[in-house]
A and B are shown apart, each in its own frame.
Chain A
Amino acid sequence: MARIVGIDLGTTNSLVAYMDKGTPRVIAGRHERAMVPSVVALTDNGLIVGDPAKEHLTRNPERTVYSVKRFMGKDLADVQNELAYFPYTLTEKGGVIRIKLGEKTYSPPQISAMILKELKLRAEAFLGESITKAVITVPAYFNDSQRQATKDAGMIAGLEVLRIINEPTAASLAYGLQEKTQGTIAVYDLGGGTFDISILKLKNGIFEVLATNGDTHLGGDDIDRIIADLFLGEIQKQFGLDLNAHPDHMQGIRLEAERAKIRLSDELKTTVNLELPDGKGLFTRELTREQLESLCNALVERTLGPCRLALNDAGLTAADIDEVVLVGGSTRMPLVRQRVQDLFGTQPHCELNPDEVVALGAAVQADILSGGTTDMLLLDVTPLSLGIETMGGVMSSLIRRNTTIPASAKEMFTTYVDGQTGVDIHILQGERELAKDNRSLARFRLKVPPLPAGVPRIEVTFLIDANGILNVMAKDMRTGETQSIEVKPSYGLSDQEVERMIEDSFKFAADDVGARKLIEARLDAGALIITTEKSLTDGGQLISADEVTAIRQVLSVLAAAKDGNDPRTIRARMADLEQAAKSLTVAMLNDSLKRGLQGKKVSEVT
């Protein structure tokens, strides 16, 4: 089976990991950096992703998209109150947010797909093989629309998403693999934009999630925003300057706020320097850890409510938790660690890098799916109740939150009027009493044969699969016929739209032929280097020492060219290497032919 990689598609940073002989490892890019900033920028040379795109946040803020994860599976109304914080322009088409980049608009799954593609290329270059399958992580508290949007992003990026898994549970797999822990653990995951808490029971390789809770709009981003707002107010007061009119400086402040926050995890105070526009000079300020903590105390407090709810749903108290695991960059803040420790009464674990642990866990799950790891099994839950709208606009719950998935529920439907040919079904997700307060997932019309009222009996099965994604099937109990149901998602892309975006993504590649050629050349060069090195190891003794040295010489020239920016040079050096290694190839071919002939009769050869 083809290799499956594990991907952490984060709000601020994304990573790709793979399983290396039983140990999950993240794949680093150039400069040994494993994290790819989840940023996409439109430049004069086309779309760019990751570290180079991040540099455009301040240079080119209107055309640089960050934190796109906040918009996955949402419509514009959902995010109305935070639109002002983003320098890029959001519009809406058919219930799906569109992000404007130059002349074109892109859906959040398309932007996420660009990040996924970058990770895919990175993995391909590193592993020297084509990657088409992946496990992608999402916040545990993501609803059906958000999960579906993530799956769509994978498809657009040319990846078959074999499984969507929850970030805290992925982290628990990485920890479990390392520590062989048994008992009840709490995973506290405070990332860039989302917060999750999951309570798990670990026993003999089974990771059973007992309860999960969270907030998909609470993370490090929000802390940065609070700090930035403080600076903005002070700059307004001191210099009479409204930086809202300067999107580039707004981004500069946001990034400086983030850096100051990070420094204050190790230091007790730090100095912030910001160059102001319009020749207003420099804004300088000292920020202490104490000040930071009083600023974000309420925000950290907001994470504790979901923790208590999860404990309650699991039928446990804080004292029942044996171990607490911290995940997500924001858990480096001493205040967060202290609050978590106070709540659970135990010192939290943070042995594994909180930025990498989710991707590592995704790689473990990928290995389970490919049949590599067989002693571990994750039994996850659905985070939100699933139901349908009944008379009076009330939600009738079919599958309760924290039910182990896969989970299914059956419901019988009939008609009220003679000859009625359809029954409208509105599927909802959420915990509120009234349908309108919950998330609308889909509406569909059940086809019913025209019969007297009450005679038709249609059994509808609602099935939440292991990805936490809903599937609906209907069966006419009178005829036994099954009906496939086309569920039009209330928010999100239809299958046709995803198809078109996959096509578009190839066009986008064509628009960007230059970059593409370079990437491919590097990829091919990497593969050639690996195979040549293997040949030298396996067959080096078949040729003279001088020949080996000569090949190594050409190989190192290619390795240097590979880091350059010219695809033609790389191709030329590849040709050189192929030429230089010809004697080795021929020698190896002869050798294997010779050994193949041994022990065979002449008649068999001719």
Chain B
Amino acid sequence: MDGHTHQHTSDRRELQMARSMCWHCQSEVSGEYFCDRCVKVQPVSKELDYFTCFGIPRRLALDQQQLETKFYELSRAFHPDFYQNKSDAEQTISLGNSAMLNTAYRTLRDPIQRAEYLLDLEAGSVKEIRTTPPADLFEEILELQDTLDEFRASDRTSDAAAALRSQLQSERTALEGRQRDMETQLQQLFGRWDALQDRGEATDQARTERDRILKDMRDILSNRTYVKNIVNDLVATIA
């Protein structure tokens, strides 16, 4: 289709929830999601990041239980089921807030998506989509592509195909191991990020450390996605 581009919102989200007037009674909204004066639900600001929305610090380790509890609590506050008897305006807000909340929960719940989201927030980056293999895997992946092509063209019942299949199986095991290694590295980076944030230093050294962590995180995340897609393709082919 023409004219279609993939573009992810890259505008920096502000930490603080934008304080504004209640759409209904025009008083200043001081409650979290509901106007204190007229008790009408307020649209969640587009500037509000998911961490703030859930009332948790911007860290990569988080308490899943606490996240879920907050998700259920906010679902009870926003879900359209509880706005059936309300005005059209309130129903629209309820729908928008619920959709946003569901996206936020889905993003934060998964450690990889959470890290990608944090990168987007901190570095304002468009998610990098790798189209060529990472340098240290270059040879290996090119070879694998050849083997895959050979397997696709082969007679599946032949001995040659059986040999190729077992070769691909061991490739798969190796790549999955590689993927796990990357995840371990990511875990370490996540820990370093959280520790750095906890220290809260404003030194040049801290800033350098911060940029390095984010850069490393971005590289490993995109490599991991690349390897994961290769594995998926491999699994689908030999299935």
Contact = CB atoms under 8 A, between A and B. Distances in A.
Contacts of A379: 75, 79
Given A389-B1, A405-B102, A408-B103, A370 B84 contact: yes
A79 B99 CA distance: 34
Interface stretch (B2-10, B114-122, B183-191): B2-10
Nearest to B2: A416
B14 interface: no
B98 A406 contact: yes
Chain B interface SS verdict (over half): helix
A411 B98 CA distance: 19
A408 B106 CA distance: 12
Contacts of A377: 75-76, 79, 81-82
A553 interface: no
Nearest to A456: B3
Interface in A405-458: 405-408, 410-417, 420, 423-426, 448
B80 A406 contact: yes
Contacts of B96: 408
Contacts of B164: none
B141 interface: no
Contacts of B79: 377, 379, 466
Contacts, number: 90
B72 interface: yes
A587 interface: no
A245 interface: no
Interface residues of B, number: 26
Interface residues of A, number: 44
B4 A423 contact: yes
A7 to B, nearest CB: 17
B186 to A, nearest CB: 19
Contacts of A368: 81
Contacts of A411: 4, 6
Given A377-B75, A403-B102, A407-B99, A391 B84 contact: no
Interface in A372-399: 374, 377-379, 388-391, 396
B151 interface: no
B67 interface: no
A275 interface: no
Given A412-B5, A412-B7, A414-B3, A466 B81 contact: yes
Given A369-B84, A370-B84, A404-B105, A415 B3 contact: yes
Interface of B: 1-7, 9, 72, 75-76, 79-82, 84-85, 95-96, 98-100, 102-103, 105-106
9 contacts: A163-B81, A369-B84, A388-B4, A389-B1, A390-B4, A396-B6, A406-B95, A406-B98, A448-B3
